[in-house]
Amino acid sequence: MEQLFHLVSPCRAHKKPWHKGGTMMETTLKVSGMHCTACKMLIEDAISEIKGAKAVSVDHTTGAVAVAYDSNETLEKIKTAIKGEGFSV
Ligand SMILES: [Cu+2]
């Protein structure tokens, strides 16, 4: 379920604060409670504030939130932030 981050090539991503030498992982979270693009933006904003995390894509119609992150600790922070916005993950 976790795999090496490959959506952004290292040459383009290595200057980003969340990028640490190509060790990013990605996974897709199943989030319930999203019903419009404002929900999508709430989640994207919440994730963008977490150091070491990046929302790769949020689909409010399916509840799929693809995230890139640098550690399992960061993944837990992502889930906590999503719950903090009132969604279930
Ligand atoms: Cu909404």
**DSSP string over 22-81:** T--EEEEEE-BS--SHHHHHHHHHHHHTSTTEEEEEEETTTTEEEEEESSHHHHHHHHHH
Question: Could you tell me if residue 76 is inside a domain?
Answer: yes
Please state, in angstroms and rounded to a whole number, the distance separating the CA atoms of residues 53 and 83.
Answer: 16
Contact 58, 30 (CB under 8 A): no
Considering the entire predicted model, what is its pTM? 0.75
Domain that residue 79 falls in = 5-84
Q: How far is the CA of 60 from the centre of ligand 1 (A)?
A: 8
pLDDT band at residue 3 under the 50/70/90 scheme: very low
Instruction: Read off the pLDDT band of 8 (50, 70, 90).
Output: very low
Query: What's the CA-to-centroid distance between 76 and ligand 1, angstroms?
Result: 23
The answer to the question of residue 14 being in a domain is yes
CATH number for 77: 3.30.70.100
Q: How many angstroms is it from 42 CA to the middle of ligand 1?
A: 9
Q: Evaluate whether residue 39 is within a structural domain.
A: yes
Number of domains in the chain: 1
* Distance (Å) from CA 35 to ligand 1 centroid: 4
The tens digit of pLDDT for each residue in 30-86 reads 999 999 999 999 999 999 999 999 988 999 999 999 999 999 999 999 999 999 999
On whether residue 33 sits in a domain, the answer given is yes
Whether 31 is covered by a domain: the verdict is yes
Does the residue 89 lie in any domain?
Answer: no
- Residues measured by CB to lie within 5 Å of ligand 1, the ion: 35-36, 38-39
Higher pLDDT, 24 or 47: 47
**Measured distance CA(40)–CA(36) in Å, rounded:** 7
